[in-house]
Structure 1
Amino acid sequence: MVQKTSNAFVAASWIALGAGTIGFIVGLARAEMLLNEKGYYFTVLMLGLFAVVSLQKSVRDRLENLPVTDMYYGICWFATLLSIVLLTVGLWNATILPSEKGFYAFAFLLAIFGAITVQKNTRDNMNFDQSK
């Protein structure tokens, strides 16, 4: 049975993506750190968002028996884990308050969760439209 994703879940997914991403970026803009540090964290966020969307698509393609090479699938996993490790190492060594470290960690996790669910909803609704 193919069902259309509820509007409430679609909205919640977009809100999670927006709140995490915008919160992370606003936190960076207001932070008292060097521009290269801000660039590092911004780049890690962008890598993480791209990696999880690509990973979710690859996992879904495999479940639907669409061809995905092992190399690409592995790169998706590697990039996802790398973004998490880079954020963790950066925050561990940062000279900011522990509360700021927690803020960035949770904003990052919220953003990547939102990106995964937005991608999932997009794919689900695309399949629903094609099954009519």
Structure 2
Amino acid sequence: MSNDNEDLLDKGKQNNTKVKEERKEGEPTSAFKGASWAALLIGVTSYLIGLYNANMQLNEKGYYFAVLVFGLYSAISLQKAVRDKDEGIPVTNIYYGISWFALIVSISLMAIGLFNAGSIVLSEKGFYGMAFVLSLFAAITVQKNIRDTQRSREKD
């Protein structure tokens, strides 16, 4: 009789156990990937909503939009160049230097634009600055996660 009870308990345990997907070595967790994507979407969406609702001329809005796109691209490009160099993948010094230069220029353009923006109150300047930095950091993290996931799956 006790064997029957043990068999029933074993079957119950088997039915209640969840199948956990195996994560490859070096692959980021799903939670980290999700948090990175969420940070990117929140940063970019907040920035764009703020820009859409801003009381500034269209050419000013275009400037801040272009700086965001330039900043995102330059941050991802620099992350890729740094990672390639670290992994022994050939990267020319000119591309590496231009990647650094582009990121510095994009951050400088944002800082100079906000510093000189007389029509934007200080709290809005802080909002744009923080949304910009969040977006850059999140873009780098998302790109890193994609690359780590791809690399871990190629090992098999």
Kindly indicate whether residue 61 of structure 2 is the aligned counterpart of residue 38 of structure 1: yes
Q: Percent identity?
A: 52
Cα deviation, residue 4, structure 1: 1.4
Partner residue in 1 for 2:130: 106
Distance 1:5 1:86 in 2: 33
Higher relative contact order (CA 8 A, sep 6+): 1
Partner residue in 2 for 1:3: 26
Amino acid at match of 2:32: F
Question: What number of residue pairs does the alignment pair up?
Answer: 132
Kindly indicate whether residue 71 of structure 2 is the aligned counterpart of residue 82 of structure 1: no
Partner residue in 1 for 2:152: 128
Partner residue in 1 for 2:94: 71
Distance 1:28 1:126 in 2: 35
Amino acid at match of 1:53: I
Distance 2:83 2:72 in 1: 17
Give ranges in structure 2 of 5+ residues lacking alignment.
1-23
Normalising to structure 2: TM-score of the pair? Answer: 0.83
Larger Rg: 2
Amino acid at match of 1:90: G
Distance 1:66 1:4 in 2: 20
Normalising to structure 1: TM-score of the pair? Answer: 0.98
Partner residue in 2 for 1:62: 85
CA shift digits 1:35-80 (9 cap, x unpaired): 0000000000000000010100111100110011000000000000
Distance 1:3 1:119 in 2: 15
2:47 to 9, 15, 24: 24
Distance 2:155 2:25 in 1: 8
Amino acid at match of 1:121: N
Cα deviation, residue 123, structure 1: 0.6
Give ranges in structure 1 of 5+ residues lacking alignment.
none
Distance 1:30 1:81 in 2: 27
Amino acid at match of 1:8: A
